[in-house]
Chains A and B, each alone.
Chain A
Amino acid sequence: MQAATMSAPRQMRSVEFRKEREATWQALEEMIAAADKHGLRSLGAEQLARLPHLYRATLSSLSVARSISLDRALIDYLENLVGRAYFVVYGTRQHLRRQLSDFFLWRLPSTIRRARWHILISAVVMLAAAVAAFQLTRADLDHYYAFAGDMAQGRTPASSTAELRAGLYDTESQSGALVTFAASLFSHNARIGILAFATGFVAGLPTLLLLFYNGLVLGAFAALYHSRGLSLDLWAWMLPHGVTELTAVVLCGAAGFQLAHGLVFPGARIRMDSLREHGRSAAVIVIGAVCMLFLAGLIEGIFRQTVTSIAIRLTVAGTTAVGWCYYFGFVGRRRDRQDAAEREAPAGQAAQAQAHAHAPGRELAPQMSGQMEVAR
């Protein structure tokens, strides 16, 4: 009996297993090292096509190793290798150009359509503040200082009507600093917009205040120019870029509210899950808004200072308004419908996958043994 003991140098299954699979692991290891060093693109089409296969093969090796091998070093190696490969395989992978077109032709308008209630709230808050400030300032011009004190830049009730009018049709004075002005305006506005989104994490209260304050300034301005009979001139001056800019501000506010919604009212889901979903879609909206602010900066910095005709200014304003309505209302609808159809068809499968992803930390090795015996 003694002769038949286990210590005879007969090959163990785990040793044989390692011998058989080692080449695959090393191929994957080399590929990952190359990708980490020189970027994924350095791999070339042929290798790139092999990568998922090698990854899956190694993943299944890990599974098998967990169930048949007690070599800790081997399991550690496979875990680490698969982890490294996982970064590459499940990191963001699409080409930038493809991603950009995807973003602007579908994701952005679609996300904005789904956020319509948040957008409505955001718009109502700003409009309400504007109307209130307008009425108050119209009743007593002294209120202007309270509402728009910081933003006045010399445009106050103390200025003469001629001065105010000149401000709206000023084309020479700034011509040199025009571009700088547009650029700093854009970066300032965009920063405030991003902040409006980010402060959504504080239950959205600062977002609310930012929107409200913005509305107050707008209303006070309108009341001041209205009191001098310059309403039409003011709107013609403001709206060409204002349509885009104000929409962007409203969108940033909506993004902040969406984040706050995810945090404060998670509904039936775990707070973290709800936050994650709302946060991602809010980020998409903010990126869209930043792009809009950039466009608004261009219009404001260049177009407005060179064109003074009210008719042309208002036409441009109207065109941008129609353009945005079309973009947000209709672009990417077809893909929305496709997605909805797909979601309905294999609803059972999707739910299953979801449940699986939620499975809380399962114990590693012991449970795997049942599943992956096929490998040999």
Chain B
Amino acid sequence: MNPASLAALRPEEQSDLAREIVTPEGIPLRFTLARAGDRAAAFALDMLVQVLVLVAVSWGLSLATGGGNASWLTAMVVVLAFLLVNFYFAFFEVRWQGATPGKRRIGIRVIDARGGQLETSAVLARNLIRELEVWMPLRFLLAGGLMWPDAPGWAQLLAGCWAFAFLFMPVFNKDRLRIGDMIAGTRVVMQPKVVLVPDLAQEASAVPVFAPAGTRPVAAYTFSPAQLAIYGVYELQVLERLLRTERFDASYLEALRTVSEKVRQKIRYEGQVSDDERFLREFYAAQRAHLEQKMLFGQRRQDKFSK
């Protein structure tokens, strides 16, 4: 990344995975779709939990019954295995608002694709279909020969391709939809991280300024409206990203110096600048105040190229 040019610091990353939904209140929200790797990892974790539960419960039951009533024991394990395989995901997604232990660990969630309430029937639909999507290919892989012993090779190959086409469906469509997501109208998205950082503009104005008692503190650098009319929102937010970089090494200082020089050149700033960071922070505050003021009157200047 070359910090010398403002445009090189693109604020929008991975926009091909960003999806918008409209909440029932009518406010658009943006979510990032979960990546295939995350989903696979969550699935593997959930499978691990299922196996562990099954083993633990069978073991506990066999201890409790003392190995006496074997038929009841087997029956319970058979039913438990069935319930686990088919309802583990649905159970947790209903109870934990779209998360399972694996999903929660990885930080992904199921939501309604249109932004409404996540319905139980949708959760059931998306998980019942795993029988076709996961278990059938898996059974085919593990016991293909047993299922269809005298099949010719080509038929086995064909059946294998057919089965695995379903498993790898999420890779083939741009919304990363599993068949279950298609028939249920759901999506799996990343759980966003919530961090509230201090406001740069407020910080800038809080920089101690030595002013005579009784007068308002003045900023060290001042900008004329003409100077503030050059950049737009895009440049402002790129600058914000630079200033929020939590790195205080030589390359950061270098970047600050280059950007500060560029800005001064562009807006024809004539005063002396001794502290590049301070200058940029105050320029940011002034520029933002200016652009927000304009925005209140319905003029949003998108970037330095807009009129």
What residues of chain A have their CB less than 8 Å away from a CB belonging to chain B? 1-3, 5-15, 18, 22, 25-26, 29, 32, 36, 39-40, 56, 59, 62-63, 67-74, 77, 79-84, 86-88, 90-94, 96, 99, 103, 107, 176-180, 182-184, 186-187, 190-191, 194-195, 197-199, 201-202, 259, 262, 272-273, 275-284, 286-287, 290, 356-359, 361-362, 364-366, 368-369
Contacts and interface: CB of A to CB of B under 8 A. Distances in A.
A62 B82 contact: no
A356 B28 CA distance: 11
A255 to B, nearest CB: 9
B121 to A, nearest CB: 4
Given A5-B222, A177-B71, 15 more contacts: A9-B209, A9-B218, A12-B201, A13-B292, A18-B202, A59-B27, A72-B237, A86-B29, A90-B116, A90-B117, A92-B117, A180-B74, A357-B116, A364-B28, A368-B27
A359 B241 CA distance: 32
Interface in B38-85: 71-72, 74-76, 78-79, 81-82
A79 B119 contact: no
B172 interface: no
Interface string B85-117: 010000001111111000010000101111111
A108 to B, nearest CB: 10
B131 A195 contact: yes
Interface of B: 11, 20, 22-31, 71-72, 74-76, 78-79, 81-82, 86, 93-99, 104, 109, 111-125, 128-133, 136, 166, 179, 182-185, 191-197, 199-202, 204-205, 209, 216-219, 221-225, 228, 233, 236-237, 240-241, 244, 282, 285-286, 288-293, 295-296, 298, 300
A54 B233 CA distance: 30
A88 B104 CA distance: 13
B282 A7 contact: yes
A163 to B, nearest CB: 25
B198 to A, nearest CB: 9
A357 B196 CA distance: 30
Contacts of B132: 195, 198-199, 201-202
A92 B292 contact: no
B24 A90 contact: yes
Given A15-B202, A71-B288, A177-B71, A63 B27 contact: yes
Leading 10 A-B pairs by shortest Cβ distance:
A91-B97, A279-B183, A276-B185, A198-B132, A283-B125, A9-B205, A80-B192, A183-B75, A7-B286, A187-B82
Contacts of A103: 120
Contact of B194 (A7, A14, A29): A29
Contact of A195 (B136, B225, B288): B136
Given A73-B244, A83-B29, A280 B185 contact: yes
22 contacts: A5-B223, A6-B223, A7-B286, A13-B296, A14-B199, A67-B295, A73-B244, A77-B197, A87-B98, A87-B111, A92-B98, A107-B121, A179-B75, A180-B74, A186-B82, A191-B82, A194-B86, A195-B132, A275-B183, A279-B129, A286-B124, A357-B114
